[in-house]
């Protein structure tokens, strides 16, 4: 018995001695990181790593919790129903069809952002909030070149989204698409940012700006005008388009960056029209072969192929063959990025341009101009067509809109002997459409009249009369 007890004591003692010797002289496993200066540092013991990992929060799981972002964004996303007047029949009549989309409340006073194509040519716009309250909406202004429109409802203290910084958005970042389609109430989908600065050639016009944020968050047609928000619930884009062959979502959706939206909204609120600034150049994307010929280190940049006489770039000394590589200390890789950045400025404001010429990087400051090479901001005051057509207009007051139940502009005066005078149009006539295009303010009416090639048709009503009047004439006689 004593023999076995002694053997057991020896075994226990040997084990304890082995553990002590191992912990005292044998180096434990270590994990090593390389520091930025090439030196190395010890990160600790393997058992310490396991302890840290057990108590740490897994960062990879945190972005998938979208509850807070959804709760912040969904009360601000609305449904929009617009009645649109479609083509004329043989008898001169027209029909109405409905358009549905989403919108985002961006100010507590009732300002709502949506897409231009959602409310284009609309006769009547109704907004349904997330809490199901419905309002008649006024179109403050619309910008086809960015597909952004601004509406206003008569309500205060509304929940609204905060503008985020779309420049800080990174590819691979989690985002939420929030819409209010077909009165299904707020619908939230999640995805990641697939790309930035996308140009998909869907907007018409030489002045159009396409620099979309591409995501794989599910967006269907009724989500047009809805919010694209980051995981903090901040607005980083307005959902605008999808690429599809079936008519439904197929994995590609596109949003107008919030930094551009913010500028468009500011212009429409302050002026009723968008103040567009231009560099006064023709541009094209740079390819690797051209970049090599010009001595550039890579093909990131925008090649200037034309400089407008008396334009902003000409004043600053830029020339055809120069390559714009940066603006305001931010790198420029493509034409869409450059157009979007310039689109955030008004005429008269200045930017710093970095460009490549004669195998070296150079810098200049440019004062931007409008399409007419002016540095002054423009504001529609109503008499812009008085000399050419002979009429002056003004916006309808809020009380007039409510009383007449019309959106349009009122003719305040008609010059004797003018083109409009010959049609027998009288002051007080309310123009609701120009060549079939609905107009809600003076800026839209002027734009429609100026863009008409030859024939003009001004349709509308007189107060107290239900009949639609139509005045037709040719510009220039």
Question: Do both 188 and 119 map to the same domain?
Answer: yes
1: tokens are 């018995």
Question: Do both 153 and 27 map to the same domain?
Answer: no
Question: Do both 332 and 400 map to the same domain?
Answer: no
CA distance linking residue 25 with residue 472, whole number of Å? 101
Which residues are catalytically annotated?
Answer: 117, 147, 224
Q: Which one of 249, 272, 295 terminates a domain?
A: 272
> What CATH number corresponds to the domain at position 400?
2.30.42.10
Q: What is the pLDDT along the chain (477 residues), one digit of tens a residue?
A: 555 566 666 666 666 666 555 555 544 443 333 333 333 333 343 344 334 433 433 333 345 678 999 999 999 999 999 886 555 444 444 556 777 899 999 999 999 999 998 988 777 899 999 999 999 998 888 888 899 999 999 999 999 999 999 999 999 999 999 998 865 678 899 999 999 998 888 887 777 898 999 999 988 778 889 999 999 999 999 999 887 666 666 678 999 999 999 999 999 888 878 889 999 999 999 999 999 999 998 999 999 999 999 999 999 999 999 999 999 999 999 999 999 999 999 999 999 999 999 999 999 999 999 887 888 876 666 677 877 888 989 888 777 887 888 889 999 888 888 889 999 999 999 999 999 988 988 878 887 887 777 789 999 999 989 899 999 998 765
Indicate the number of domains in the chain. 4
Question: Do both 340 and 460 map to the same domain?
Answer: no
Question: Do both 315 and 431 map to the same domain?
Answer: no
Question: Do both 11 and 69 map to the same domain?
Answer: no
pLDDT tens-digit map of 208-244: 898 999 999 988 778 889 999 999 999 999 999 887 6
Please check whether residue 445 is in contact with residue 420, taking contact to mean a CB–CB distance below 8 angstroms: no
pLDDT tens-digit map of 378-416: 666 667 787 788 898 988 877 788 788 888 999 988 888
Q: Which one of 332, 367, 402 terminates a domain?
A: 367
**Domain range enclosing 14:** 2-56
Strand partners, 437: 434
Rounded to two decimals, what is the model's pTM? 0.67
Please check whether residue 261 is in contact with residue 274, taking contact to mean a CB–CB distance below 8 angstroms: no
Q: Which one of 246, 272, 298 terminates a domain?
A: 272
Which of 216-247 are b and which e, b meaning 16 or more Cβ less than 10 Å from the residue's Cβ? Answer: bbbbbbbbbbbbbbbbebbbbbbbbbbeeeee
């Amino acid at each position: 018995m004593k023999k076995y007890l002694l053997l057991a004591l020896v075994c226990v003692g040997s084990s304890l001695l082995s553990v002590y010797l191992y912990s005292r002289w044998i180096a434990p496993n270590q994990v090593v990181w390389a520091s930025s200066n090439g030196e190395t540092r010890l990160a600790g013991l393997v058992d310490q790593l396991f302890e840290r990992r057990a108590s740490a929060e897994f960062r990879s799981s945190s972005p998938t919790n979208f509850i807070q972002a959804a709760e912040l964004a969904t009360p601000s996303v609305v449904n929009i129903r617009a009645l649109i007047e479609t083509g004329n029949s043989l008898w001169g009549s027209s029909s109405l069809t409905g358009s549905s989309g989403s919108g985002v409340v961006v100010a507590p006073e009732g300002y709502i952002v949506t897409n231009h194509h959602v409310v284009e040519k609309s006769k009547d716009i109704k907004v349904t909030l997330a809490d199901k309250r419905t309002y008649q909406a006024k179109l403050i202004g619309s910008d086809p070149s960015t597909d952004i429109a601004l509406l206003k409802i008569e309500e205060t203290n509304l929940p609204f989204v905060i503008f985020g910084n779309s420049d800080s958005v990174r590819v691979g970042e989690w985002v939420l698409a929030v819409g209010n389609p077909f009165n299904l109430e707020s619908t939230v989908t999640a995805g990641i940012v697939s790309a930035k600065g996308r140009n998909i050639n869907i907007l018409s016009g030489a002045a159009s700006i396409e620099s979309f944020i591409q995501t794989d968050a599910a967006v269907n047609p009724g989500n047009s005008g809805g919010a694209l928000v980051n995981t903090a619930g901040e607005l980083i884009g307005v959902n605008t388009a999808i690429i599809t062959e079936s008519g439904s979502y197929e994995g590609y959706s596109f949003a107008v960056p919030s930094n551009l939206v913010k500028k468009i909204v500011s212009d429409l609120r302050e002026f009723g029209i968008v103040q567009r600034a231009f560099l006064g150049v023709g541009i094209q994307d740079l390819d690797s072969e051209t970049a090599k010929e010009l001595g550039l280190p890579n093909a990131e940049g925008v090649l200037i192929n034309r400089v407008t006489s008396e334009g902003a770039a000409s004043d600053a000394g830029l020339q055809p063959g120069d390559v714009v590589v940066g603006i305001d200390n931010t790198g420029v890789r493509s034409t869409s990025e450059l157009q979007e950045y310039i689109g955030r400025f008004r005429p008269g404001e200045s930017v710093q341009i970095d460009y490549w010429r004669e195998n070296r990087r150079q810098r200049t400051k440019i004062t931007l101009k409008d399409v007419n090479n002016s540095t002054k901001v423009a504001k529609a005051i109503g008499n812009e067509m008085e000399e050419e057509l002979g009429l002056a207009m003004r916006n309808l007051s809020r009380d007039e809109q409510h009383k007449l139940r019309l959106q349009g502009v009122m003719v305040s005066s008609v010059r004797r002997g003018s083109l409009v005078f010959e049609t027998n149009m009288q002051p007080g006539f309310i123009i609701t459409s120009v060549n079939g295009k609905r107009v809600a303010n003076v800026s839209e009416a002027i734009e429609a009249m100026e863009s008409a090639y030859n024939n003009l048709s001004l349709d509308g009503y007189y107060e107290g009369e239900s009949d639609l009047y139509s005045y037709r004439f040719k510009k220039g006689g």
